Amino acid sequence: MKLSKTILTGVFLAFALSATPGRAQTDYSTDAPEDVNYFYGDLSPYGQWVDLEGYGWCWQPSVVATNPGWQPYCDDGHWVYTDAGWFWQSDYDWGWAPFHYGRWLRHQNAGWVWFPDRVWGPAWVTWRTGGNDCGWAPLPLHAVFDANAGFLYNGVRVGANFDFGLPANCFTFVALGDFCAPDLGHHRLGQPDVDRIYAHTSIINDYRFVDKTVVNRGIPVERVAAVTHANLRPIAIRDEPAGGGEHGPGNGAVAAVYRRTPRMPDKPVEVRAVKVDEQHPIVQHGPMLPASDEHRNMAPNEPVRPVEAPPKQTVERAPQPKPDAGQPVEIIGPEPEWKEPPAPPGSLATHTPRSQQVADQAHALPPLFKPHDAPPPPEPPAKPIPHVPRSQAVANQAHALPPLAEKPPPVELAKPGNSHPDAVASPRDNEQQKH
């Protein structure tokens, strides 16, 4: 009875999702390149295969959906010095493939995705170093290392100091004293420090072939040993034994690390990838594999429950002169990161597209006006001013002015011999008449 209810609930949810208005229909590609077949079954339980417009088939780990700040060769892993140079030892069960084969791309919409090939390397990264800091970033698409010509980029030979056009936000930087830390994701510098350091670093692309094996020299091991005071003896790289996984040093006290060779499946496998283009810009991830089940074989479409990503820390520095190599670096508490809300018991968690998240946030914003706040009434239009002819306006102004005061007539003084009857004689004239 309980099983029947569960089945009915699943059918109802599937019908409801398919009938939701405006929900984009997922499109798939099935024409995979040959290299995909060597990795498809091993990586499908841990991420999503994607047909990215303009690039082709690639794979994205599910951790990208739960941790927006995730970068390749950063979280859940560390560097090991081997007889093939610096080897990236990943703690992910799927890490044997994307960190030793193929190339990574940071897509502006999809985020970090991986493109497969079958050329093994201890770690396909480019290095930068400056002062007491060092950094690395995944080599981009079309960066090829040739035994005779060295590095080629888009088919053109480039020098050992070529930057491959990688910006600062593709790099992971740490203090050189933390280079041998067991989980470098907790020691990475914050992006403001990376932006400041990036322009003052030197590029290192020291790759070579030794006994038909790619060797990644990278940061000089003598310099790392001098700063970290670690006893860095090269560990041997061996081919993985049958039925084994990637082994590596948890504390550096092992005799060898192992490389795994991808193999074509014995039976044909039906492959498909989600199309990501302008009409479908978001990578849709299915349920994620929990940590407790990472080491068991699973079918690609088997439903599993999600697992939350562990909190990460970054080292933040004030804009001051760099400390000495022996000076401790303060580690700030875990940086805030988005976490998917826990799914209710018996249900499967799904990834919410970015467009839907933005829409939900928009509905949650407060309205610009409260319901009882009405906008102010409009002001009444001004009355028109009647037209008055200029002559009439002048006349009106003349009538409106006050009358001018009358000016008294001037008083004329009589001159000698003046016979005018109204003349007034001066006192001097009267004196002259007496004499």
Has residue 365 got a pLDDT over 50? no
Has residue 268 got a pLDDT over 80? yes
Closest CA to 29 of 10, 50, 8: 50
Closest CA to 287 of 277, 269, 302: 302
Question: pLDDT grade, residue 14 (50/70/90)?
Answer: very low
pLDDT tens sequence across 327-344: 443 333 343 444 444 444
First to last CA, the chain: 160
Q: How far apart are CA 287 and CA 274, in angstroms?
A: 15
pTM, entire model:
0.62
Q: How far apart are CA 231 and CA 221, in angstroms?
A: 10
Q: How far apart are CA 356 and CA 311, in angstroms?
A: 25
> CB of 145 within 8 A of CB of 215?
no
- Segments of 108-192 assigned E as strands: 111-115, 125-130, 133-138, 143-146, 150-153, 156-157, 172-175
Furthest-apart CA atoms within the chain: distance in Å: 164
pLDDT tens sequence across 209-266: 998 899 999 999 999 999 999 999 999 999 987 655 444 444 445 678 999 999 999 8
Q: How far apart are CA 98 and CA 418, in angstroms?
A: 133
The overall average pLDDT reported for the chain is 73
* Residue 26, pLDDT score: 73
* Residue 269, pLDDT score: 87
pLDDT tens sequence across 388-424: 555 555 455 545 555 555 555 555 554 444 444 444 4
* Residue 157, pLDDT score: 95
